Amino acid sequence: MSKTECDIGVLGLGVMGRSFALNMADRGFRVGVYNRTEEKTVRFLEEQAGGRPIEAGSTLQAFAEILKRPRAVLIFVPAGAPVDETIDELIPLLDPGDLVVDCGNSHFKDTDRRNRMLAGKGLLFLGLGVSGGESGARTGPSLMPGGSGEAYRRIRSILEASAARVGGEPCVAYLGPGSAGHYVKMVHNGIEYGLMELIAESYDLLRRGLDLSVEQLASTYAKWNEGVLNSYLIEITARVLERKDEKTGRPLVELIADRARQKGTGRWTSMDALDLKTPVPTLDTAVTMRNLSDRREERETAARVLGPEAGAASCGGDREAFLPRLEQGLLAAMILAYAQGMSLLKQASRSYGYGLDMSAVTGVWRGGCIIRSALLEEIRGAFREEPDLANPLLSPALGRAVMKRRADLVKVVSTAAELGVPVPGFMSALAWFDALRSARLPANLIMAQRDYFGAHRYERVDEEGTFHTQWEA
């Protein structure tokens, strides 16, 4: 291969970078690679790249030289300072018109800043959300590009060839200007947190509350994955529950410490939702529960002081009858978690000028990503019929789908409360749904209180204008 012909460059050979480099090479593209520590590059070439059209640069300069002009460089380094450092080192080696693509989970405000900075230097930039973990990157991820439309057109054929496919369509679409791609990926992760929390709560309810064995749980989730709950996260839950620890022979899940770590994308989703005044309580709860799980010593002390652990209580004696209700309640709560994330995307699209096409977003999420599920097809259908829906629940079909299962959701929440098993994700989903369909909420009392102590004034239901009452005689 001549030394000036790589179609695309991959900078950073961590798990995601090397998997995506192999993926693109398998689709017939010539890939130039570079990694700061050279041993990693050597190992990659020796152990994985063999026989594929992959060429490495031993220095960053050599890497820049083996790329076709105008260059396209995909950066796969951890979000935050490493992205800025990498871009700073790369800039002097690039020519005007070259393209830089940040493939990490970058904060959207960093993406906007980098976009402006690179545009000032005559360079193109894309913020590309990549979902699907290692195996997704290797065989077909879901790709969420945002930034310059011209930049997207330049690498569109490579991204389309390398993305997951559903019904022949690639799971990639240009989502909008600026940080649109990274924003959509952030909310994808916020929804991911919400769905994972709901599934974890259902597991806790069955295990601690109903005393089902891990083996029974594994077969329950495997069965659920064949039905309405069909999704990647339910599928891997069944697989996780099936796995036995090699050392002890016990279910591995029971030996894993109950401290949930986080890199930050779920928290960013909640923080921006607060800034945009868009309620996403189930996604917020998922972040809160990860934080609570991390305070293990505090929980252990509280458990000693405040009484026995929940568990082994009966569920009105009828576990068999409860399982299908939990299945339906979980479906309803999952619809509500997706709906919260999507209503945030709609608001962000208006506030930040992304011009998001929600059927394109849901189309990209149908395959390759962590939140892919049969449900997304229905949500996509709702946005196809009514692209301007502010919230997918306002579509009659989806609204009815939750309404039909509301009693199941209530049953899950009330059973859990009686058993003392915490299900704040389910509770928040139910409360959000009920609040949303309340034409009147008790904010009138809050407004009266504000006016009472601070003369903040209130509006009336029967008259235009703002009013103040002298509350104390």
Name the residues annotated as catalytic: 185, 192
Contacts of 154 (CB under 8 A, 6+ apart): 70, 72, 99, 124
Smallest gap from residue 304 Cβ to ligand 6PG (A): 30
Smallest gap from residue 214 Cβ to ligand 6PG (A): 23
- Establish if 259 lies at the interface with ligand 6PG (CB under 6 A): no
Q: How many residues does the chain have?
A: 473
Amino acid making up residue 149: G
| SS3 assignment for 44-104 | HHHHCCCCCCEEECCCHHHHHHCECCCCEEEECCCCCHHHHHHHHHHHHHCCCCCEEEECC
Pinpoint the alpha helices (H) of 176-318: 180-204, 214-225, 232-242, 265-275, 281-293, 296-306
Which residue, 17 or 132, has its beta carbon nearer to ligand 6PG? Answer: 132
Report how far residue 409's alpha carbon sits from residue 78's, in angstroms, rounded to the nearest whole number: 39
User: 42 with 121: CB under 8 angstroms?
Assistant: no
Q: Binding segment for ligand 6PG among 1-9, 20-28, 257-265, 442-450 (CB under 6 A)?
A: 257-265
- Establish if 289 lies at the interface with ligand 6PG (CB under 6 A): no
H helix or E strand, kind and range, residue 451: helix 443-454
- Establish if 189 lies at the interface with ligand 6PG (CB under 6 A): yes
- The residue from 105, 285, 359, 415 that contacts ligand 6PG (CB under 6 A) is 105
- Establish if 437 lies at the interface with ligand 6PG (CB under 6 A): no
Amino acid making up residue 112: D
- The residue from 8, 369, 412, 413 that contacts ligand 6PG (CB under 6 A) is 369
- Establish if 283 lies at the interface with ligand 6PG (CB under 6 A): no
Which residue, 57 or 424, has its beta carbon nearer to ligand 6PG? Answer: 424
User: 314 with 135: CB under 8 angstroms?
Assistant: no
- The residue from 146, 266, 392, 399 that contacts ligand 6PG (CB under 6 A) is 266
- The residue from 184, 234, 370, 429 that contacts ligand 6PG (CB under 6 A) is 370
Using CA of residue 309, residue 315, residue 317, residue 321, what is the dihedral sign? negative
State the number of CA atoms in the 13 A half-sphere of 286 facing the CB: 30
Which residue, 331 or 369, has its beta carbon nearer to ligand 6PG? Answer: 369
- Establish if 32 lies at the interface with ligand 6PG (CB under 6 A): no
**Number of Cβ atoms within 10 Å of the Cβ of 179:** 27
- Establish if 200 lies at the interface with ligand 6PG (CB under 6 A): no
Report how far residue 42's alpha carbon sits from residue 49's, in angstroms, rounded to the nearest whole number: 10
- The residue from 19, 23, 106, 131 that contacts ligand 6PG (CB under 6 A) is 131
Which residue, 209 or 266, has its beta carbon nearer to ligand 6PG? Answer: 266
- Establish if 102 lies at the interface with ligand 6PG (CB under 6 A): no
The residue whose Cβ lies closest to ligand 6PG is 131
Q: Binding segment for ligand 6PG among 18-26, 90-98, 226-234, 263-271 (CB under 6 A)?
A: 263-271
**Residues in the site for ligand 6PG, rule: CB under 6 A?**
105, 131-133, 189, 192, 262-263, 265-266, 369-370
